[in-house]
A and B are shown apart, each in its own frame.
Chain A
Amino acid sequence: MNEIIQAFFQAIELIITLDPSVMEITLRSLIISFSATLIATVIAIPLGFLIQIHEFYGKKMVINLVQTLYALPTVIVGLFVFVFISRAGPFGFLRLLFTPTAMIIAQTILILPIMTGLTISALTGVDPTIRDTIRSLGANTRQYLGLLVREARFAIIAAIMLGFSRAISEVGAAIMIGGNTQTSAFWTSTRVLTTAISLETSMGNIEFSMALGIILLSIALVVNLVMMRVQQR
């Protein structure tokens, strides 16, 4: 028990003293997951709109499929991306395997379904009378969509936040695609919070793992607080 407490205090110390390797891993984690969230936002929100506002054959099926993929296992995404970018794969020539870029791609794919699905829910959640009101006021298509986004904005922001949370906390794809490498340069290394915790723990560096774990939890906490503030307004 004493050892755990001791490790905990050492972890706090690592954070307070801004230990360079802790900071580097944290920063890399944030950059990779922010990038993935940004790309996924640009794809998922318009996609959610397209699915929601159009009536087409098989729409229910598509929404069902998207919702099923909320639970997409991260290792499946890892496997999927791996076969495409490994040396023998169709995109092998790009030499993306074990790079931060590949991790961004994997995380984007991972969070696309949940962000698309939640965008659809956000739009569906707008009162039909509000939609009629917008149309009745004489809005053209562009104005209609603009006002619809404004009405659904809190739910859409929540979708983005949730996507980010899932991206930064996943470990399966990150380790398969990134490989948890540590090189001399910041941009060629792929060690992020989750993969580092996994590796350092198995190597017995409990205090280091704990420090990264506390940071990971704090990020989740901050995201949650921001989300709550947004929704209360």
Chain B
Amino acid sequence: MVALEKPRSAGLALHIEGLSHAFDIEGTPLPVLENISLNVAPGEFVALLGPSGCGKSTLLRLVAGLEPADQGTLQGDGQPIIGPDPSRVVVFQDPTLYPWRRVWDNVALGLQAQGVLKGQRQRVDAALAKVHLGDFARAWPRQLSGGMAQRVALARALVNEPRLLILDEPLGKLDSLTRIAMQKELIDLWQRQGYTALMVTHDVEEALLMANRIIVFSDRPARVKSQILVERGYPRRRDDPYLVELRTSILQSLGLG
């Protein structure tokens, strides 16, 4: 019977339907998400784009299972999402490395928390190698630059072999050169590992360079305003006329055209 089990695909299928959520600000509810429906196919890279503070990050927290949703359906591979799970890992805007752990031990965090670190230490080394930081295993987080710290945070996520990688503006605080390098790196890793990726970003160009599909959100409370398929292979070029045209139309739909 075990033999009949379907092989687990690398990516998670995400199904969101009629999702609404509100914050409680001193007794008065403040709606942040309104009736959001969204399906993400296994292995798809979806970018969420929208005005600052519109509730995109809240959506990610709900998908990660860090908070229960007020209303609506939220499923991963048909199973309701009721709590956090190492198959759905978040990379936050800040690297949030633990300053009291060396780089290696930060990356080992997930395996240690799940109680499987013993015997799987090579997975930590492999994850560090993936982000080209093998030489920094013994460094303290305070000794790293912003881009390096964010790559360690990425390794800390990837070591768990997530089926859904949730990226909350992961490159938001990096300088533009590091940003370009890391966009390439993220695409490489996504193509090699085959996980589903859900990324919040403020940067239209970044979304166009990285995502298969871009979801544009309205102002708070966030609703899905439009969806754009980016039908281009990788690597993409910033000056690709097709992308430039899409960029203009997205900016227009955001009211910035």
Q: Do A and B come from one complex?
A: no
